[in-house]
Structure formats: C-alpha cells, structure tokens
Amino acid sequence: MKRAALYMRVSTLDQHPETQLDDLRQMASQRGYTIVHEYADRISGVKAKRPGLDAMMADARHGRFDVVLVWASDRIARSVEHFLDVLDELNRLNIEYVSFRENIDTAGPLGRAIVVIIGAIAELERNLIIERVRAGMRRARLEGRNIGRQPLLLDNAAIQRDRGQGQSLGQIAKGHRISAATVWRALNDKPTQHPEKTA
C-alpha cells in the first residue's frame, strides 16, 4: 500500500481548504493509498516562502511517502519554473505526483511521458539561459567592457619591503587588504636576477 502526502494551498481569496482536502482524501481512498501526512499553506501562490511545501519536500527527501496528491498544479508551484523544479526533484526521489484537476499521474505511461517532456523543457530553458549569458559576455567583450573581476594590482616592492622589516604574512595581508596566499605569491614572484657582465 502506497503512502500518500496531501498538499493544499489556499490564498487570502480562497478560504476553503476543505474543498481541496475532501477531493484529495476521496482520491486517496479510491486508489487505496494510506495518507501519512497533510500539508497546507495559507499564502499567495507567488510567495517564495511556503512552510507547508518546504516541510513536504524535506519529508520527501527522507522517504516518508511514495506519492504526492495535489488538487491542482498551480497549488504547488508559484511559477512554471518552480513547478518544473518540484516535479523534477520528486521524480529523482522516485515519488509519484498526482494532480486531481489536471488528471496527471506520473505513475502511468502518459504521466511518465509528461515527466520526460517537462524534463526536456527544463533542460532547454537551462541551455537557453546559458546561451544568453554567453551571448552577453561576447557582446561585452566586443564593446571593450571588462568581464569578471578586475585584475589585482599589487605593490610588490612595498610587500617585499614590509617583509624585510619583519612583518608576518598576516600583517602584510591586512595592511594591503589582500589574502596571505597572495602575499606569499608576491614574495616568491621575484624578478630574475641577471649576473653582471665582466669586462
């Protein structure tokens, strides 16, 4: 018998979680699921922090249930991207996802196909983001703008002098606002000494 988790979310405009709860309990009963926990959030769908959803995902990672039942997919996620992330993680954890309103069940062949399609869409989106970043970097280079950190300019002579006066690496690093590792590299990056020519 599969262990089921129910997730409900109601906004300030919808004060009737019982409607969702009744439908989900009936669906769980029809499928022979044992309900192990019911999670609920009373919050707008666009809010990032959701204690109920966070608790459910934490329990999912600990293997405390086998299937998640939701009344509708827009109840569980605040955006398409967030929905893809949640579904992808549940799939990786081998936890089935069932939506009452959309009649989505990732345990069946159609549901598994939907997971594959959603995974492909998520991967495409990630690749598009990467390509946009690369295109932006190429454009910045063509326009002569620096990308990334500014080069670190060191006063090697002053670092060598401070070391010669007996300062520790930490003291020098603090004085020059650099790391001790950078001080060490500067001290060991001495110019090559050329022997004087003899007549």
> For 1-19, what is each residue's pLDDT tens digit?
899 999 998 876 555 678 8
Catalytic-labelled residue, pool 11, 44, 99, 168: 11
User: Does the annotation count 11 as an active-site position?
Assistant: yes
Answer whether residue 199 shows pLDDT above 60: no
Assigned token pair, 28: 């769980």
By C-alpha distance, which of 15, 11, 14, 68 is closest to 39?
Answer: 68
Nearest to 5 by CA among 74, 66, 94: 66
Per-position DSSP letters for 134-178, written without gaps between them: HHHHHHHHHTT---SSPPPP--HHHHHHHHHTT--HHHHHHHHTS
Evaluate if residue 76 carries a pLDDT over 60: yes
DSSP 78: S
Q: pLDDT at residue 98 above 70?
A: yes
Chain-centroid distance, C-alpha 96: 21
Q: What is the pTM of this model?
A: 0.57
Which of 15-19, 68-72, 133-137 reaches the highest mean pLDDT?
68-72
